Amino acid sequence: MSEQPKQLVAPTGTHDVLPDSSRAWERLVGTFSEMAHQWGFGLVLTPMFEDVAVFNRGIGEESDVARKEMYVFEDRGGRTLALRPEGTASVVRAFVQHQPTTPWKAWYVTPAFRYERPQAGRYRQHHQLGVEVLGTEDPFVDVEVIALAWRFFETIGLSQIRLMVNSMGHAECREAFVVSLRSHLSSQESNLCDEHAKSWSGNPLRVIDCKKRECRTVVDAGPSIADALCEECATHFKHVTDGLTAIGVPWERNVKLVRGFDYYTRTTFEFVSDALDGAQNAVGGGGRYDQLAEDLGGKPTAGVGFGSGIERLLLALQAEDSLRFEKLRDASIDVFVVDTTGGQEALQICDLLRRNGFAADRAFDGRSMKSQLKAADRSGARIALLVGPQELEAGTITIRDLRATDEGNRQKLVPRSELVNVVREAIETSMN
């Protein structure tokens, strides 16, 4: 006697998306794809894993993501690879490798992997969609990238979103700011929270978005990035915010907005949902990364982009109660074919309908008519086509309106040769 094999389940922090909820995914990704094309972006697909250096040099070896969250492994050829923890680095690596003409406008949708302790809205595999523009430092591009994200959120029905923007300045402004921040923090070390009192010098910028009161007091009294910007960077930032204002995208400046990846220069931004609480309220973010292409071994090339987490967007939609799954499901099937003669008729009728552009489904296993009609009801189909021995004999089909209420006038016998036209007509009238 062998034991029953142990049931296997999805790994910690991962999840299956089944047809009920995947309708919402299709809608999000479909909408984004359409909008990205409207904005002039082309789809880019890059490998899910890369040489680990792509991410170490990209997001910074000092960042938490690179230090302790990456899935790093060695393949059979001894190469050290990593599953992608975010979207941007791979796209920029592809740009550097292929040197397309600029400006290069790319959009993507991809899973991202981080070894984290899972909780609501945070997974070991999550999914991001986003865009990148390489080859121009024109502030209008920053505006376009932010605007695309904003309009996308509007289109899918999110209303409680706030956009926060900031500028880190270019490499020199940023470096000068880090120096003055460092000296401020070192003089205030004893006033920082327990953790940052020890760790501030590794990455002083991290202290800026610490939520502890002690750190906030120290930070508020210290230098502001806003004052550290050179004239060019200040002007660049003003063009970005003026551009947003010009097209009616509301923004607020947040001088403490310091994002987790080291590659950001100048513009940074983040979208938060007020419908989600605290910890996981960021639904998207991004910024400019004018050094990144060079860091990955390419020619100096400016870039800017944003990424948004699909799971977070769905949580935010749910929190705003903007998701209507029922409606999405109703849209699926036009016709359900009921065949009590063995199934051969349903095979041919479904094929005919599908070739003519209808969404058709049927039952299997030779069930009773009653049971098949029950399945028809569940499918959400507008109409059912019934074929039993009588119809088969007479070369006819019974068409039944599954939504009508007057029992006397809801089904009729039609010649099989007229099927496609009759179905088309029935669907048109039942749509009204």
Q: Which of residues 369-388 bind RNA (CB under 7 A)?
A: 369-371, 373-378, 386, 388
Q: Which of 58, 139, 204, 307 binds RNA (CB under 7 A)?
A: 307
For RNA, give the closer residue by CB, 34 or 277. Answer: 277
Using the rule CB under 7 A, give the single segment among 27-35, 109-117, 219-227, 318-326 that binds RNA: 109-117
- 282-301 binders of RNA (CB under 7 A): 282-285
Closest approach, Cβ 101 to RNA, in A, equals 28
Counting contacts by CB under 7 A, is residue 64 touching RNA?
yes
Size of the site for RNA (CB under 7 A): 73
Comparing C-alpha atoms, which of 388, 392, 402 is closest to residue 339? 388
The amino acid that residue 276 corresponds to is L
- 1-20 binders of RNA (CB under 7 A): 9-14
Q: How far apart are the first and last CA of the chain?
A: 61
Per the CB < 8 A criterion, the answer to whether 334 and 359 are in contact is yes
- 76-95 binders of RNA (CB under 7 A): 86
Closest approach, Cβ 183 to RNA, in A, equals 21
Using the rule CB under 7 A, give the single segment among 37-45, 112-120, 132-140, 176-184 that binds RNA: 112-120
Q: Which of 74, 195, 274, 351 binds RNA (CB under 7 A)?
A: 195
Per the CB < 8 A criterion, the answer to whether 164 and 287 are in contact is no
Per the CB < 8 A criterion, the answer to whether 360 and 385 are in contact is no
* DSSP letter assigned to residue 119: B
For RNA, give the closer residue by CB, 37 or 403. Answer: 403
For RNA, give the closer residue by CB, 180 or 411. Answer: 411
Per the CB < 8 A criterion, the answer to whether 114 and 90 are in contact is no
Counting contacts by CB under 7 A, is residue 118 touching RNA?
yes
CA gap 357, 350 in Å, rounded: 11
What residues have CB less than 8 Å from 409, skipping those under 6 apart? none
Q: Which of 411, 420, 424, 430 binds RNA (CB under 7 A)?
A: 411
- 129-188 binders of RNA (CB under 7 A): none
Counting contacts by CB under 7 A, is residue 204 touching RNA?
no
* DSSP letter assigned to residue 402: S
* DSSP letter assigned to residue 5: P
Instruction: Classify the C-alpha dihedral 29-32-36-37 as positive or negative.
Output: positive
Which stretch of DSSP H or E encloses residue 164?
A: strand 161-167
Per the CB < 8 A criterion, the answer to whether 71 and 11 are in contact is no
- 28-57 binders of RNA (CB under 7 A): none
For RNA, give the closer residue by CB, 1 or 10. Answer: 10
For RNA, give the closer residue by CB, 101 or 409. Answer: 409
Counting contacts by CB under 7 A, is residue 407 touching RNA?
yes
Please give the C-alpha separations between residue 96 and each of 92, 101, 145, 150, 306, in angstroms, as whole numbers. Answer: 6, 11, 20, 28, 19
Closest approach, Cβ 179 to RNA, in A, equals 21
Per the CB < 8 A criterion, the answer to whether 278 and 177 are in contact is no
- 214-273 binders of RNA (CB under 7 A): 259-261, 270
**Phi and psi based region of residue 121 (left: phi greater than 0; alpha: psi -120 to 50; beta: remaining):** left
Q: Which of 65, 293, 414, 422 binds RNA (CB under 7 A)?
A: 65
Closest approach, Cβ 381 to RNA, in A, equals 8
Closest approach, Cβ 143 to RNA, in A, equals 20
* DSSP letter assigned to residue 14: -
Using the rule CB under 7 A, give the single segment among 121-129, 139-147, 152-160, 235-243 that binds RNA: 121-129
Instruction: Classify the C-alpha dihedral 223-225-229-234 as positive or negative.
Output: negative
SS3 400: strand
Closest approach, Cβ 13 to RNA, in A, equals 5
